[in-house]
Amino acid sequence: MFSEKGYDATSVREICEASGITKPTLYHFYGSKEGVYRALVHGTLDRVREDMTRAIAGEGTLRDRLRRLTRTYFEAARGEPDLARFILALTHDPPSSAPRTDFLRFYDSILMQVTRAIETGEARGEVGPGPVDVRLLVLMGALGEAAHGYLLAGRPDLTPDLADTLVDVVLKGWIDPSSHS
């Protein structure tokens, strides 16, 4: 309902009808419409952060870790596209359009983990030296563009093969050419 109509335009009655519960049940479990919003949005952000943390923190090369991260990111968008669209829209909507959510904290926590992975990969000699902030823009920009294209137009298809290819192409640009002479 929130994805289709927006938070403000969705009534408690509509939420109850769509979910097949009574208002007293909604109020008992969530307290209010805002409680439903918080459970949905914050629960999703927490789950996605945990999944992405698990993916990037696991063992393996930088390539392995970024591939897992990218696959996880794609799975989140593919698995619940309406929810992904709603959450992405919230990041662009005026703050008054829904209860306040700390999207910056979510975003920064992911960037911090990717930064550490890139720095570790660089220290291991898996990629050449380079500006981590620019590398983050390239990688996260590619992920975001793929997800936005999928959510908007249904393309590209967010497959594991695309995730792997995307990471391989990005990493190819980070390899120090002098190390292959």
Residue 4 lies in a domain: no
Is 32 inside a domain boundary?
A: no
pLDDT at 100 over 70: yes
* Torsions phi, psi for 176 (to 5 deg): -75, 110
pLDDT at 8: 84
Closest CA to 67 of 152, 155, 171, 151: 171
Residue 165 lies in a domain: yes
Does residue 177 register a pLDDT over 80?
A: no
Residues constituting the chain: 181
Q: What is the pTM of this model?
A: 0.85
- The rounded distance, in Å, linking the Cα atoms of 140 and 112 is 12
User: Which percentage of the chain shows pLDDT scores above 70?
Assistant: 97
Number of separate domains in the chain: 1
- Asked if residue 181 has pLDDT above 50, the reply is no
Higher model confidence: residue 87 or residue 61? 61
Asked if the structure places residue 7 within a domain, the reply is no
Average pLDDT over residues 48-76: 95
- CATH number of the domain enclosing 63: 1.10.357.10
pLDDT of residue 176: 64
Residue 73 domain-assigned (yes or no): yes
User: Who contacts 60 (Cβ-Cβ below 8 Å, separation ≥6)?
Assistant: 68
Q: Is residue 134 part of a domain?
A: yes
Residue 118 lies in a domain: yes
Q: Within a domain: residue 55? A: yes
Q: Would you state the pLDDT for residue 112?
A: 96
- Domain that residue 64 falls in: 39-175
Which one of 35-39, 57-61, 110-114 scores highest in mean pLDDT? 110-114
Give the C-alpha separation, 106 to 148, whole Å: 18
